[in-house]
Structure 1
Amino acid sequence: MTTNMPRTDSHFAGQIPALYEQLLVPMLFAPYATDIAFRASALEPSRVLETAAGTGAVTRALAHVLPAHVEIVATDLNQAMLDRAAQTPIERAVTWRQANALQLPFDDASFDIVICQFGAMFFPDKTAAFAEAHRVLRPGGVLLFNVWDRIEENEFACIVTGALGRLFPDDPPLFMKRTPHGYFDRHAISHDLACAGFDSTPRIETIAQRSRASSANAAAIAYCQGTPLRNEIESRTGASLDEATSMCAEAIAARFGSIDIDGKIQAHVIAVQC
Structure 2
Amino acid sequence: MSDIPNSSFNCSDDEAHHYDHFLGPLYFEPWGIEVAGRIDPATVSVALEIAAGTGRVTRHIRKKIMPSAKLIASDINADMLAEAKKKLAHLDIGWQIIDAQDLPFDDNSIDLVVCCFGYMFVPDKHKAFSEVYRVLKPGGTFIFTTWDKLEYNKVSYVSRLVAEKYLKNPLPESYNLAVSMSDKAIIRGQLENVGFSKILNETIEQFSICPTAKETAAGLVEGGFVFKEIRQHYPEWMDEVKIELEKKLSEKYGAEPMIAPMSAIINQAWK
Q: Tell me the residue number matched to 1:252.
A: 249
Counterpart for residue 3 of structure 2: none
TM-score (normalised: structure 2): 0.88
CA-CA distance at 1:64 after TM superposition: 1.3
Identify if the C-alpha distance between structure 1 residues 233 and 103 changes in structure 2 by more than 3 Å, giving closer, same or farther. Answer: farther
Question: Paired residues, what number?
Answer: 265
1:27 Cα shift?
1.4
Q: Does residue 207 in structure 1 map to residue 204 in structure 2?
A: yes
The aligned counterpart of 1:273 is 270
For structure 1, list consecutive stretches of 5 or more residues without a partner in the other structure.
1-8
Structure 1 range deviating more: 87-96 or 240-249: 240-249
* 2:11 counterpart SS class: coil
**2:52–2:73: 8 Å Cα contact kept in structure 1?**
yes
For 1:84, the equivalent position in structure 2 comes to 83
1:88 CA displacement: 1.2
- The letter of the residue matching 2:46 is R
Could you say which residue in structure 2 is the equivalent of 1:56?
55
Percent identity over paired residues: 28
User: Any idea what the Cα deviations from partners look like across 1:105-138, whole Å, max 9, x if unmatched?
Assistant: 2222221111001111121222221111112111
Per-residue Cα deviation, 1:179-210 (whole angstroms, up to 9, x for no partner): 22221011111122122x13304201111111
Aligned residue number for residue 192 of structure 2: 194
Q: Given the superposition, is the C-alpha separation of residues 102 and 228 from structure 1 closer, same or farther in structure 2, using an over 3 Å criterion? A: farther
Q: CA deviation at 1:175?
A: 5.8
Alignment of 1:232-247 (within 5 A): 232-237=229-234, 240-241=237-238, 243-247=240-244
Conserved? CA contact 1:74–1:97, under 8 Å: yes
Residue 199 of structure 1: SS of its match in structure 2? coil
What is the CA–CA distance in structure 2 between the aligned matches of 1:91 and 1:36, rounded to whole Å?
22
Mapped partners of 1:117, 1:158: distance in 2: 20
Partners of 1:149 and 1:266 within 8 A in 2: yes
* Separation of aligned partners in 1, 2:242 and 2:134: 42
Give the structure 2 partner of residue 4 of structure 1.
none
Residue identity matched to 2:183:
D
CA displacement, residues 25-75 of structure 1 (integer Å, 9 cap, x when unaligned): 211211110111121235621100000001101110011121111100000
Secondary structure at the counterpart of residue 259 of structure 1: coil
Secondary structure of 1:124's match?
coil
For structure 2, the 5+ residue unaligned runs are: 1-7
Q: Is the 8 A contact 1:202 1:273 kept in 2?
A: yes
Code of the residue aligned with 2:263 in structure 1: it is: Q
TM-superposed CA distance for 1:90, in Å, is 5.4
What SS class does the counterpart of residue 179 from structure 1 fall into?
Answer: helix
Determine if the alignment matches structure 1 residue 128 to structure 2 residue 127: yes
Amino acid at match of 1:168: L
Q: Structure 1 length normalisation: TM-score?
A: 0.87
Residues 167 and 230 in structure 2, CA contact (< 8 A), matched pair in contact too: no
